Amino acid sequence: MKLRHLILSHHGEYEMASARLPQTLEATILHQADNFDAQAIGVQQLKDAVTDENALWTEFDRLNSRFYYIK
């Protein structure tokens, strides 16, 4: 039962295609870890895309509405 709930709720919100909202501590932690991992990967991809070695900032991250400082 818990494993099924973890799988069904890991997206955390109905708007993010989650079949269920996290309703246990473990499901909430899994959702937050999954979200943090996705955010970290996105920031790293923006940093990796910078080709100007003198650049101080990434391109604008539309998902999070910000630039990231890279130096």
CA distance 22 to 69: 33
49 falls within a domain: no
* Domain region containing 28: 2-35
Looking up tokens 């998902």 gives 63
67 falls within a domain: no
CA distance 30 to 51: 34
Helix (H, G, I), strand (E, B) or coil at 15: helix
Residues of the chain with pLDDT under 50: none
CA distance 56 to 8: 40
23 falls within a domain: yes
24 falls within a domain: yes
Domain count, the chain: 1
Query: Which CA distances in Å does 59 have to 6, 44, 64?
Result: 34, 12, 12
